[in-house]
Homo-oligomer: A and B are copies of this chain.
Amino acid sequence: MNKSFKKIGVMTSGGDSPGMNAAIRAVVRTCAYHQVQCLGIYRGYQGLIEGDFKEMTPRSVNNIINKGGTVLKSARSQEFRTVEGRKKAYEQVKASGMEALVVIGGDGSFTGGMVFNEEFDFPVMGIPGTIDNDIYGTQFTLGYDTALNTVVDAIDKIRDTASSHNRLFFVEVMGRDVGHIALNAGIGAGAEEILIPEEDMGKDRLVESLKRSRKNGKSSSIVVIAEGDTTGENVFDLKDYVLQNMPEYEVRVSVLGHMQRGGTPSCFDRVLASRMGVKAVESLLEGKTNYMVGIQNNKMALCPLDKAVKGKTEIDTELLRVSDIVTI
Give the B-binding residues of A (Cβ under 8 A): 15-16, 18, 25-26, 29-30, 32-33, 43, 58-59, 62-63, 65-70, 73-76, 139, 145, 148-165, 169, 171, 184-185, 187-190, 216-218, 252-264, 266-268, 270-271, 274-275, 277-278, 296-300, 316, 318-319, 321-323, 325-328
Contacts and interface: CB of A to CB of B under 8 A. Distances in A.
Contact of A268 (B148, B162, B296, B319): B148
A296 B149 CA distance: 22
A68 B260 CA distance: 22
A169 B255 CA distance: 13
A170 B259 CA distance: 11
A261 B161 contact: yes
5 contacts: A16-B164, A25-B190, A29-B328, A66-B156, A66-B159
Nearest to A299: B318
Contact of A263 (B68, B156, B187): B156
A277 B151 CA distance: 22
Given A29-B325, A185-B267, A161 B262 contact: yes
A275 to B, nearest CB: 5
B58 A160 contact: no
A184 B267 contact: yes
A122 to B, nearest CB: 25
B259 A158 contact: yes
Contacts of A152: 66, 266-267, 270
Contacts of A169: 257-258
Chain B CB within 10 Å, residue with most, of A139, A189, A267: A267
